[in-house]
Amino acid sequence: MTPECSIPQAVIAPELAWVGLAMLLPLLSACACALCAALRVKGKAPAIITIIALASSFLIIVKAYLASTGPVEVPIFQWITFAWGEGSFQSFTADCAMYIDSLTLFWMLFVTGLGTLITVYASEYMEGDCGHGYARFFFGISVFLFSMSALVLADNLVMLYLGWEGVGLASYLLIGYNYDRPSAVSAAKKAFIMNRIGDLGLALGIFMLWSNYGTLQYSELFAAMNQGGQSSVDWDLSVIPFLLMLGAFGKSAQLPLFTWLPDAMEGPTPVSALIHAATMVTAGVYLIARLYPFFELHPEALATVAWVGGSTALIAATIGMAQYDIKRVFAYSTISQLGYMFLGLGVGTTFGACYHTLTHAFFKALLFLTAGAVMHGFAGQLDLRKLSGLRHIPGWRIVSWTMFVGCVWLSAFPYTAAFFSKDAILLQALTSERADFRFLGWMGLFTAALTAYYTFRVWFRVCAGPVHFEPGSEGQHDEHDEPTHAPASKASHGAFQPHAPRWAIKGVLLILAVGALAVGLPAYNHVFAHETNWAQQMIAGSSAYQGAGLAANSHDPHLEHDAHQPTVLGMDAHTGLTVVGSSAAIGGILVAWFFHLRSRSAADQLRRALLSRWWIRWLPICMENKWYVDEIYHACFQLPLWISGQILNFGDRHFLDGVLVDGLAKIPMGLARVFRPLYGGALQGYAVTMAGGITLVLAWVTWIWLRGFN
Amino acid sequence: MNDALASGFTIASNAQLSVALMISALLFTIGLVGFLCRRNMIIMFLCTELMFQGAALAMVAFARMHMDVSGQVFVIFILTVAAAEAALALALVVLLYRRRETLSAEVWSQLGES
């Protein structure tokens, strides 16, 4: 099982060390933000510093992209090096170095680019917190960007792990940004703990990789993989991808560990857009794409990835259909789209997965930012039943129409970028030789229809229809307590004035909408001008693609699928999928239009009708209650732990503490009670004790003495 | 036997010694009982002096018995210490009296456990 593998050998290029600035600048801006917090800076200085740092690191990455020729390794400094012998398994090296290939650049381009845009947005969004949490917020963003860059640029798995934990920390800090709100605190804890479960898998996977290959550097790992592992324990090798997968599923909110992501929406919206939609949650996809060769060696691991991805996509979409909170709908759609990416990885198209990551990053960031603008303007109102007709309100047109763009993209409307990226994944699944992958492909198509429905459910409810809105309760959303706007809205009690976004928010929304259009260009070029897709080229030059080539040795998914003439519904696969995919998306949109714009009462009637029939009433109930996953986890893990905790607490309190500790302490206390009368405080009392004691001692000595003489 | 015998001193008889020791024990007992029974601090102090002298008398008696002057030297030291101590103790008594306007030892019992 050592297939031909031709991952391009990385060239060592110390002259590219300036790319490391992309990592260093966010770190410096984090320090500067911390300084601002310490000096209690009142203005927007932290935001400006962060924007400048992130924009510079984006430019650096662009420059690196323009200068890149192939995989390079850039040593920066020696980080961890120690050896306890001369042999191959007797030294451990983890340098601070960068492995820059096209996959790295692909990821860094959208991470730093979106990071910059979302920071610009946040500079206006968070302005109500100037002087309070403003510096803390941008500190979190900077730490996140630093960690994410370290994760992506890393040259070895130890540095990747550093970044992996760093993004987890930043995510924790930013979800719990409103630390005086209990729900935010518990959401932060939940995210952190669920990520720890995944990270345990990742850490074990890294240990296993080291014990099998004796190195953690990508280039050496790929080379070692060609020769097979050196420790010849089969079990070890086959468990590696499963352990790595667990880490990826935790970070990317996949099936067993997805419940933290919807709760993570407690964080400020720019955080949801940047960390919990566009960048951090794609780290799992990056990890699997980067180490794709290992997954390649174990087809059953890839099948697991595909199944988990496909079922997560479906389940999250069904939950998303029944939520009323806009941000939660988008959160479940994020989980669902991440499921598509894992499905793509699993069925063997890293190109589809990575391209979908890119398109998803743009339209999902856009959607979250529009949701944030709505929340910002309507005092925290996010219930889609209480907002309507936003596009008719002056000042909200840009928000409505950029949201429309995001929704069209998310629903994979024909000939949008997301349509092509989703198409690449589903095509690979549907033309697979494995029946279960073909089933997953059909499941993905069904999910695509659901996606279109729930996406446009939001848009038709919030942006279309008659103008009607109820402001949210500002008290619950402290981030909206803006001193500048609060008097205006409070002065006119009955007539709440939504406060329309200003240039920073609108500008970023427009740029993102244009960006979402632009990420479709490579696909248009591919389809209409028959040029090679840019994303495909980027993936092809990296370890991810080479691995994908192994999967389909006989059957190259990207270039030669026409040669095999796989068919979908009797048509050529491409045409067939275009037809089916488009009808799924348009069908979903039409259903949403009917139920949520044309006759909104029909939706309630449908719900009542479903609830009144015993054989189907479980469906809406389960969907509205998120399939009771939280409750199941609560019953399976939290409750037993709570009960055992209570038992142990009881034992500790009453046995260890009560009997052992307090019981021992009672012995000297009892003794003291016997002797206490001797110390009455009267001088003669002490004298009597003393004289009596001496008498007793003398009597004893005399007795011994006399007996000794007998 | 030793130089003392040679120089013509007679060794005290056992009877003479026991008389001296009984007086010493009597002095000590009077002191002890007085110390335990009286509440007046000056009397209590005098009783400790009595106990001192009882011990000193025993030493002189044993010194005479063994014909060894070190016992007597000890007694000189004891007398010196007792004189110094008397000065200190009386000063203390004066200070204590100033605080409570009484010489009774019963008023000084704050160190008691119960």
- Model pLDDT for residues A507-531, shown as the tens digit of each residue: 888 998 888 888 888 888 777 777 7
pLDDT in tens, A32-41: 999 998 888 8
Does B74 lie at the interface with A, CB-CB under 8 angstroms?
no
Can you give the pLDDT at residue A594? 87
Residues comprising chain A, all counted: 710
| Mean pLDDT, rounded, for A483-491 | 41
Q: Is the pLDDT of residue A553 over 50?
A: no
Contact A680 B108 (CB under 8 A): no
Does B77 have pLDDT greater than 90?
Answer: yes
B30 CB near a chain A CB, below 8 Å?
no
Strand spans (E) along A365-421: 387-388
**Of all residues in chain B, what percent are helix, strand and coil, respectively (each to 5)?**
75, 0, 20
What is the crossing angle of helices A283-290 and A234-251, to 10°?
A: 150
Is A383's pLDDT higher than 90? no
Average pLDDT, integer, range A476-494: 42
In A328-437, DSSP assigns E strands to 387-388
Determine, for residues A688 and B106 on separate chains, whether the beta-carbon distance falls below 8 Å: no
- Residue A1 confidence (pLDDT): 33
Task: Write the DSSP symbol of residue A636.
Answer: I
B-chain residue closest to A683, CA distance:
B105
In the prediction, which pLDDT does B74 show?
Answer: 92
Nearest Cα residue to A422 out of A182, A288, A584, A631: A584
Under the banding of pLDDT at 50, 70 and 90, the label for residue A479 is very low
More confident residue, A61 or A482: A61
Task: Inform me whether the C-beta atom of residue B108 falls under 8 Å from chain A C-beta atoms.
Answer: yes
The reported pLDDT for the residue numbered A629 is 86
Give the pLDDT confidence score for residue A476 in this predicted structure. Answer: 41
pLDDT over 50 (residue A45): yes
Confidence class for position A477, pLDDT limits 50, 70, 90: very low
Residues of A in contact with B114 (CB under 8 A): 676-677, 679-680
Predicted pLDDT at A394: 81
Sign (positive or negative) of CA dihedral A369, A374, A375, A377: positive
Instruction: Please report, in angstroms and rounded to a whole number, the separation of the first and last CA atoms in chain A.
Output: 98
**Contact call for residues A509 and A377 (beta carbons, < 8 A):** no
Of the listed ranges A265-279, A617-631, B22-36, the one predicted with least confidence: A617-631
Q: Given this model, what pLDDT does residue B114 score?
A: 54
A655 shares contact with chain B (CB less than 8 Å): no
Alpha-carbon separation of residue A482 from A131, A486, A497, A506 (angstroms): 12, 6, 14, 19
* Band of residue A474 on the pLDDT scale cut at 50, 70, 90: low
More confident residue, A237 or A164: A164
The reported pLDDT for the residue numbered A562 is: 44
Q: Which of A681, A684, A687 sits opposite B110 (nearest CB)?
A: A681
Q: Does the pLDDT value for residue A485 go beyond 60?
A: no
State the residue for tokens 């080379």. Answer: A223
Check A682 against B113: CB less than 8 A apart. Answer: no
Confidence (pLDDT) at A381: 81
Determine whether the interchain pair B112/A684 forms a contact, defined as Cβ–Cβ distance below 8 Å: no
Q: Among B35, B39, B111, whose Cβ lies nearest the Cβ of A681?
A: B111
pLDDT of residue A299: 85
Per-residue model confidence (pLDDT) at position A490:
41
Q: What is the mean pLDDT of residues B60-75?
A: 90
Question: Would you place residue B24 in the very low, low, confident or very high pLDDT band (cuts 50, 70, 90)?
Answer: very high
* Least confident span in A154-163, A217-226, A363-372, A415-424: A217-226
User: pLDDT, tens digit, for every residue of A613-633?
Assistant: 888 888 888 888 888 888 888
Cβ pair A682:B112 closer than 8 A: yes
Extract the tokens encoding A675.
């002797």
Average pLDDT, integer, range A49-59: 94
The pLDDT tens digits for A95-154 are 888 998 888 999 999 999 999 999 999 988 888 887 778 889 999 999 999 999 999 999
Q: How confident is the model at residue A233 (pLDDT cuts 50, 70, 90)?
A: low
- pLDDT at position A652 is 92
User: Mean pLDDT throughout A166-178?
Assistant: 92
Question: Is the pLDDT at A328 greater than 60, yes or no?
Answer: yes
Please tell me the distance in Å from B37's CA to the nearest CA on chain A: 8
Q: Which residues of B touch A682 (CB under 8 A)?
A: 105-106, 109, 112
| CA gap B51, A432 in Å, rounded | 113
pLDDT at A234: 57
- The mean per-residue pLDDT over the stretch A457-478 comes to 75
* Residue B50 touches partner A, C-beta closer than 8 Å: no
Cα separation of A146 and A175, whole Å?
Answer: 18
Average pLDDT over all residues of chain A? 84
Q: CB–CB of A676 and B109 under 8 A? A: no
Q: What DSSP designation does B11 have?
A: P
Whether the CB-CB separation of A107 and A167 falls below 8 Å is answered with no
Q: Is residue A280 predicted with pLDDT exceeding 80?
A: yes
pLDDT band at A10; cut points 50, 70, 90: confident
- pLDDT band at residue B33, thresholds of 50, 70 and 90? very high
Domain layout of chain A by residue ranges: 298-472+518-616, 625-678, 679-710
- Whether the pLDDT of residue A481 is over 60: the answer is no
B44 interaction partners in chain A (CB closer than 8 Å): 683
Whether residue B100 lies within 8 A of chain A, CB to CB, comes out as no
Domains within chain B, CATH numbers bracketed: 15-104 (1.10.287.3510)
Nearest to A677 among B32, B36, B114 (CB): B114
8-state DSSP, A479: G
Q: How many CB pairs under 8 A join A and B?
A: 35
Say yes or no to pLDDT of A487 above 50: no
Closest CA of chain B from A691, distance in Å: 8
**pLDDT confidence of residue B32:** 92
pLDDT for the residue A494: 52
Taking the Cβ of residue A494 and every Cβ of chain B, the question of whether any pair is shorter than 8 Å is answered with no
Whole-number pLDDT of residue A570: 65
CA atoms in the 13 A half-sphere facing the CB of A693: 7
Position A431 pLDDT exceeds 70: yes
**What's the pLDDT at A188?**
92
